[in-house]
Homo-oligomer: A and B are copies of this chain.
């Protein structure tokens, strides 16, 4: 691999470590986690601090992520074509369906939420743009799993965490679900991620016809799966129409 800058890879590893740990970490913890000398780790951390990517808690001496990253992340959203093209359609889908809408894209074998529209009328929700969702327990994830080979590759070998009683935890069950998605063109999920919640998703295709993301509605299982666990077909149609409209905007129509 030519031109791979070692120190940058290490810096990125530190940032990811800080993001996972969801808290402050000390130089010692980081250096042992990554197998680096304490002095080396300190040098990288100090540099990251200079550029604002990490901050040091004066009291404990430990390090945490820095404010500059928030701005960079937001700037990414501004450039992201999938999101900017999808925003208008997402709003329309939310008001038509009456449910919360999310748009996701694959990232490291998970689903990154790049856009989130609150459920109309209900205002006590927290925005989760930037959150990572599991692939195997969400409708968004199943869609990406069905159409994006990279996601499937990165999931191979990972353990499927059980969130509720209905979460698909065996590879066989997941394979069957994914095959169903490929047949029908949409994915559903009822109480597999959170009790009482359900979601419906469809793929978004970019230029060349490749799947670049997915769009979903999420809400109470009583509304999405009203009659004895059977999905509300009109909601599925809403989601599919939105996904097709966005795909057309992204230039998937020409293929």
In the assembled complex, how far is the CB of residue A167 from the closest CB belonging to chain B, in whole angstroms? 22
Question: Which B residue sits closest to A74, measured CB to CB?
Answer: B130
In the complex, identify which listed stretch (A44-52, A139-147, A194-202, A231-239) lies at the interface while the others stay far away: A44-52
B73 touches A107 (CB 8 A): no
Count the A residues whose beta carbon is within 8 Å of the partner chain — how many?
Answer: 61
Binary CB contact string for chain A from 51 to 72 against chain B (1 if under 8 A, 0 otherwise):
1110000010000111111111
Instruction: Decide: A24 near B79, CB < 8 A? Known: A9-B51, A47-B9, A127-B127.
Output: yes
The answer to the question of A18 belonging to the interface, with a C-beta cut-off of 8 Å to chain B, is yes
Within 8 A of B (CB), among A14-61: 15-16, 18-19, 22-24, 39, 42-44, 46-48, 50-53, 59
State which residues 68-92 of A face B: CB under 8 Å: 68-80
Chain A residues near B (Cβ < 8 Å): 1-5, 7-9, 11-13, 15-16, 18-19, 22-24, 39, 42-44, 46-48, 50-53, 59, 64-80, 105, 107-108, 112, 114, 118, 120, 123, 127, 129-132, 207
Cross-chain pairs A/B with CB under 8 angstroms, 17 sampled = A4-B50, A5-B11, A7-B7, A8-B48, A16-B68, A22-B78, A64-B79, A65-B72, A69-B72, A69-B73, A69-B75, A70-B76, A70-B112, A70-B130, A71-B132, A72-B73, A74-B130
